[in-house]
Structure 1
Amino acid sequence: MSSALLQNEIQYCFENINGSCHKTPWPLGIRSTLYAVLGFLTFLTLSGNFMVMIVIAYFKQLHSPTNFLVASLACADFCLGLTVLPFSTIRSVETCWYFGETFCRVHSCLDASFCYASIFHLCFMSIDRYVAVTDPLVYPMKFTAPVSRMFIAVAWTFSIVYSFSVVFSRANDEGLQELVQALACVGNCELVFNKTWVLITSLLYFIPFFTMIALYSRIFSVAKRQARMIESVSKKTQSSDNYIARVNRKERKAATTLGIAGIAFLLFWSPFFVTVIIDAFFNFITPPLVFDIMIWLTYANSAMNPLIYSLFYPWFRKAVKVIVSCRILRQDCSTMNLLQK
Structure 2
Amino acid sequence: MNSTFFDNEDLQYCFENMNESCYKTPLSSGLRVSLYIVLGLLVIFTVGGNLMVVVSIVYFKQLHSPTHFLIASLACADFGLGLTVLPFSTVRSVETCWYFGEIFCRFHYCLDVSLCQASIFHLCFISVDRYVAVNNPLIYPIKFTVPVSGMFIAAAWIFSLVFNFSVVFAGSNDKGMQELVNGLSCAGSCQIILNKMWVVVSSLLYFIPFLAMIALYSRIFAVAKQQVRMIEMMSNNTQPSNNYSDRVGRRERKAAKTLGIPVIAFLVFWSPYLIIVTIDAFLNFIIPPLIFDIAVWFAYSNSAINPLIYSVFYPWFRKAMKVIVSCKIFHLDCSTMSLFSE
Q: Give the TM-score taking structure 2 as reference length.
A: 0.96
CA distance in 1: counterparts of 2:95 and 2:247, whole angstroms: 54
Q: Which residue does the alignment assign to 2:51?
A: 50
1:139-288 matches, within 5 Å, as 139-288=140-289
SS at match of 2:187: coil
Higher mean C-alpha deviation, range 226-235 or range 89-98: 226-235
> What one-letter code is carried by the residue in structure 1 that aligns with 2:102?
E
Most deviating of 22-31 and 83-92: 22-31
Partner of 1:338: 339
Question: Is the counterpart of residue 90 in structure 1 residue 79 in structure 2?
Answer: no
User: 1:257 touches 1:308 (CA, 8 Å); kept in 2?
Assistant: no
Q: CA deviation at 1:298?
A: 1.1
318-327 or 88-97, which deviates more: 318-327
Aligned partner of 1:15: which letter? Answer: E
Residue 4 of structure 2: aligned partner: none
In the other structure, the counterpart of 1:10 is: 11
Give the deviation of 1:233 after TM superposition: 2.7
Amino acid paired to 2:308? L
In 2, Cα distance between equivalents of 1:29 and 1:142: 56
CA contact (8 A) 1:72 1:152 kept: yes
Paired residue secondary structure (1:9):
coil
Which residue in the other structure is 1:5 paired with?
A: none
Distance 1:149 1:134 in 2: 22
Q: Where in structure 2 are the equivalents of 1:306-325 lying within 5 Å? A: 306-325=307-326
Measure how far apart 1:258 and its partner are: 1.4
- Aligned residue type for 1:255: A
Deviates most, 152-161 or 174-183: 174-183
**What is the rounded CA distance, in whole Å, between the counterparts of 1:233 and 1:316 in structure 2?**
34
Partner SS for 1:173: coil
Partner deviation per Cα, 1:86-123 (whole Å, 9 max, x = no partner): 00000000000000000000000100110110010001
The offset of 1:239, in angstroms, is 3.0
Q: Aligned partner of 1:226: which letter? A: Q
Render the CA deviation track for 1:16-62: whole Å, top value 9, x for unaligned: 12211110011111111111111111111101100000000000000
Q: 1:283-294, aligned counterparts within 5 Å? A: 283-294=284-295
Amino acid in structure 2 at the alignment position of 1:30? L
Please name the residue that 1:67 is paired with: 68
- Give the Å deviation of 1:254: 1.2
> 1:237: how far off?
4.2
Secondary structure of residue in 2 paired with 1:191: coil
| Aligned position for 1:26 | 27
Q: CA deviation at 1:311?
A: 1.0
Residue type matched to 2:278 in 1? I
Pairwise CA distance, 1:249: 1.4
Q: Which amino acid aligns with 1:151?
A: F
Output the amino acid matched with 2:169: F
237-246 or 310-319, which deviates more: 237-246
Query: Separation in 2 of the partners of 1:332 and 1:221?
Result: 41
Paired AA for residue 257 in structure 2: T
Question: What's the % identity of the aligned pairs?
Answer: 68
Matched residues in 1 for 2:302 and 2:255: separation? Answer: 19
The structural deviation recorded for 1:273 is 1.1
Question: Which residue of the partner structure matches residue 132 of structure 1?
Answer: 133
Secondary structure in 1 aligned to 2:280? helix
Unaligned runs of 5+ in 2: 1-8
Provide the C-alpha distance between the structure 1 equivalents of 2:327 and 2:238, rounded to a whole number of angstroms: 45
Work out the CA distance in 2 between the residues paired with 1:283 and 1:329. Answer: 57
Gaps of at least 5 residues in structure 1 are 1-7
Tell whether the 8 Å contact from 1:195 to 1:281 is kept in structure 2 after alignment.
Answer: yes
SS of the residue corresponding to residue 173 of structure 2 reads helix
Distance (whole Å) between structure 2 residues aligned to residue 296 and residue 241 of structure 1: 48
- Cα-to-partner distance string for 1:270-321 (whole Å, 9 max, x where unaligned): 1111111111111111000000111111111111111111111111101101
Instruction: Write the letter of the residue equivalent to 1:107.
Output: H
